[in-house]
Amino acid sequence: MSKLVMNGISSFPQSDRLKKLIERSRELAISGKRSLYTANNTQLVYHWSDTGKAIAPQSGEGGFKGMALGDHGCRVSTGEDFPYLSEMPSRTEGYKMNAESWGKDFAFLMDHSPAEIYPNEAIVGEFHWEMNEVRHYDFGEKVKSLGKIAREHGAGGNSHGHTCSDLSIGLTQGWGGILERINKSLEKYTRLEHPGKMDFLLGAKHCCEAIIRYIDKHADRALGLAEAESDPAQKALYLKIASSCRNIASNPPATYYEAVQWIQFAIMTDRIVGHGNGYGRLDRYLIKLYEKGIADGTLTRDEAREYLSEVFLKVRGQFFSLGGRDKDGNDATNEMSFVVMEAYDMIGDYNNLGVMWHPDMDPKFYSYVCDVLTRHGAGTPSLVNYDVIRDTELRSGIPEEDASDVAYSGCQWFCIPGKEYCDQDTNSVVLTDPMFRAIDKAVDGEYESFEMLYSAFVDELKATTEALRVFKDAQYDILHLMWPEIVTSLNCHGTIERGLDVTAHRGVDYQFTSTNILGIPNVADSFFAISKLVYEQKKYTLRELRDAVRSNWKDNEVMRLHFLKQNKYGNDIADVDAMYVRVTESIAEIMDNTYNNRGQQYRASLFQFMGHTASEVIGATPDGRRATDPLAHGCNPTVGNSTKGIFAAANSTAKADNKKFLGGSLAIELQPKFFDGKDNIGQFIENFSKAYFEKNGVQINLNIIDLNKLRDAIDHPENPEYHNIVIKITGYTSRFIMLTRSFQEEFVGRENYESL
């Protein structure tokens, strides 16, 4: 089986119109116009750099280029700074750290962003500049000094977006309906004299009105183009766009087509804020208007599929989920779930759809999902265990009626759409840091047992978590003023009526603090090897080990090999896997008992999206790993340490009590050869994933890749054959050639199964 070429192995024919749109989208990606950047290795590991300015894609200082995370940005770069930068209200009137000032800047940016409509498009909307390029972004000295302390303890974090709005609010009320609620609420808090709430609502008013003007501007533009157009088909398309944009600028969408266009604008305007969000359960949003269109004959399934695929071509890599259950616990899969999957199947390439499986899911749908996943081989969709993620939400204290709405929303994370601001995927604990401090304590204190060492580790992890908590609390106190997520707040429950931004204390009901944990398998393997070689066999002293690790095993290769040879997590071996489970339980217990200043608990992810590639920031570890070797990726076994096949690796990862964590994906990289002799690839993955989920596994990301091609693509990105190679890199998908070289090298170095 060869790697997917866009247009290659779709089950659905592409119209000429769509083919042209695909070609344009591909050109934008390959020319680097959709690339997303991060600052540097430190940012990857700690999610916080010393400047506190490192949010993608650009710092606002001009000329900034960091490490390319891939081409999954929505923004289309023109290569130029925002031309009206010096006229931004915060520059002409002076910067104020509040929501009203933020809202004015947003409105100015929208009013000065062109309405762009390209030939052949039915779904329109494209943007070039994000808020973080045009508005000052700085947490201030207090946060920075606390950030430094957190960093010294092995933690960091940078709240930005990473939540999930509920688009059903705007889809039923329209932007006009939302604006009406803002005005009403503003009136109330003005009468009741609450300046803080008035500030948020004034900001929200600026933003909502600007969005309405922006969409309306597209109607004008489309009419202008229609007048000048001689081709009747293209003219009709412009008129269709004009009528749709005119209506949905303020009103709720009346048809399926308008709803899809509405979603495109909602995501785009949210994305202009500069952050990655999930957008909820797409099949539920659209089913009613889909059924209505089919019933009254105004919509065909082919059209429904095609409009959505246009959104996928534009939105690039935003997270939607499908399936799951409804409030009564019944299967929520509907006809629209199929249409969404078909829309992806039709165009392939990258996408961040997630399918939330459960034992009662329509088997026909899940079989199709596995067929699409293996046929395209590009990591889409992610397979997620709905019952486990719902249980995680329940365990945090979210009531049943809300927990059932949970949606897979990002790399490994999930949300109650419109009701959570949980800082997913933006905070980091580097677990090796407390481990190293515990080892130092044990060396100095001449600890006689492994239990004493482990107990010191638990204490140090508590200290790290506490440093993170103090730092995060300081961020939370000012977040709604420094960088309010107003556009997201417009499609959240309670924000407008409370007069509070989604990021403000109690702006929405659920505001846990989520934390990515880097290096869990390495710490578990390290502790296991220490317990064997230092405390049981007394082959080496802890001091000898500590000194060897500090010097990256210099002149201690035999010692390193002994530590490397000890049983390793990821092979379904009871003793070492028990250490992994013990470490995860310690993390869960500490997080369960740590509360932020919103009164809500911390939750850990058995995941960290790219920190494992920046291994030199961390140094060598007692599991026999050298400083230059990558750390384990999330809860996956460290590369080279999993020798018993994917089933053994899967069994090991499923041993953690996943309901206590905010996700942790099993990443599987398969060579096409893996499937030789297997009659039905989709069936194999279907069986495998169902059994893994039955064992309590929470997520599977699957890549099918030809390693030789990838190795060659690193040095020959110009080869057109490689332009369409798409991989699921950690939690998101990207075009391989658009990644920073170190990420590419890490990816091809992963455990790769070419046979069973």
Sign of CA dihedral 168, 170, 174, 180: positive
Instruction: Yes or no: say if 45 and 614 are a contact pair by the CB < 8 Å rule.
Output: yes
d(CA 282, CA 318): 12
Instruction: Yes or no: say if 155 and 471 are a contact pair by the CB < 8 Å rule.
Output: yes
Taking the complex as a whole, the smallest distance from the CB of residue 648 to another protein amounts, in Å, to 5
Q: Tell me the two tokens of residue 352.
A: 């961040």
Instruction: Yes or no: say if 570 and 649 are a contact pair by the CB < 8 Å rule.
Output: yes
Site for another protein in 567-586 (CB under 8 A): 572
Q: How far apart, in Å, are the Cα atoms of 521 and each of 230, 267, 432, 518, 588?
A: 63, 36, 10, 9, 15
Kindly indicate which of the ranges 26-34, 69-77, 287-295, 557-565 contains the residues binding another protein, using the contact rule CB under 8 A: 557-565
Residues in contact with another protein, shown as a per-residue x/- string from 709 to 738 under the rule CB under 8 A: ------------------------------
Kindly indicate which of the ranges 368-376, 493-501, 518-526, 554-562 contains the residues binding another protein, using the contact rule CB under 8 A: 554-562
Q: Please, what is the end-to-end C-alpha distance for the chain in angstroms?
A: 17
Residues in contact with another protein, shown as a per-residue x/- string from 622 to 661 under the rule CB under 8 A: ----------------------xxxxx--x----------
Instruction: Yes or no: say if 410 and 731 are a contact pair by the CB < 8 Å rule.
Output: yes
Residue 562 interacts with another protein (CB under 8 A): yes or no: yes
In terms of CB distance, is 119 or 645 closer to another protein? Answer: 645
In terms of CB distance, is 382 or 556 closer to another protein? Answer: 556
Half-sphere exposure of 578 (CA within 13 A, CB side): 4
Residue 754 interacts with another protein (CB under 8 A): yes or no: no
Taking the complex as a whole, the smallest distance from the CB of residue 345 to another protein amounts, in Å, to 24
Note if the bond before 57 is cis, omega within 30 degrees: yes
Taking the complex as a whole, the smallest distance from the CB of residue 673 to another protein amounts, in Å, to 8
Classified as helix, coil or strand, 280 is strand
Q: How far apart, in Å, are the Cα atoms of 385 and each of 311, 336, 634?
A: 26, 20, 17
Residue 371 interacts with another protein (CB under 8 A): yes or no: no
In terms of CB distance, is 278 or 697 closer to another protein? Answer: 697
Instruction: Name every residue whose Cβ is closer than 8 Å to that of residue 10 and which is 6 or more positions away in sequence.
Output: 345, 346, 347, 348
Residue 538 interacts with another protein (CB under 8 A): yes or no: no
What torsion do the CA atoms of 47, 48, 49, 54 make, to the nearest 10 degrees? Answer: 80
In terms of CB distance, is 685 or 739 closer to another protein? Answer: 685
In terms of CB distance, is 580 or 609 closer to another protein? Answer: 580
In terms of CB distance, is 218 or 560 closer to another protein? Answer: 560
In terms of CB distance, is 491 or 652 closer to another protein? Answer: 652
Residues in contact with another protein, shown as a per-residue x/- string from 482 to 521 under the rule CB under 8 A: ----------------------------------------
Note the helical H segments in 361-493: 363-376, 386-395, 400-403, 432-444, 450-482, 486-490
Taking the complex as a whole, the smallest distance from the CB of residue 751 to another protein amounts, in Å, to 14
Q: Per-residue DSSP letters for 79-125? A: SS--TTGGG-HHHHT---SSHHHHHHHHHHHHHTS-----TT-SS--
Note if the bond before 381 is cis, omega within 30 degrees: yes
Kindly indicate which of the ranges 165-173, 233-241, 412-420, 677-685 contains the residues binding another protein, using the contact rule CB under 8 A: 677-685
Site for another protein in 681-710 (CB under 8 A): 684, 687-688, 690-692, 694-695
In terms of CB distance, is 69 or 646 closer to another protein? Answer: 646
Residue 192 interacts with another protein (CB under 8 A): yes or no: no
Taking the complex as a whole, the smallest distance from the CB of residue 655 to another protein amounts, in Å, to 9
Classified as helix, coil or strand, 447 is coil
Residue 233 interacts with another protein (CB under 8 A): yes or no: no
In terms of CB distance, is 551 or 755 closer to another protein? Answer: 755
Half-sphere exposure of 745 (CA within 13 A, CB side): 10
In terms of CB distance, is 287 or 559 closer to another protein? Answer: 559
Task: Name the residues that contact another protein, by CB under 8 A.
Answer: 557-559, 561-562, 564-565, 572, 644-648, 651, 676-678, 684, 687-688, 690-692, 694-695, 756
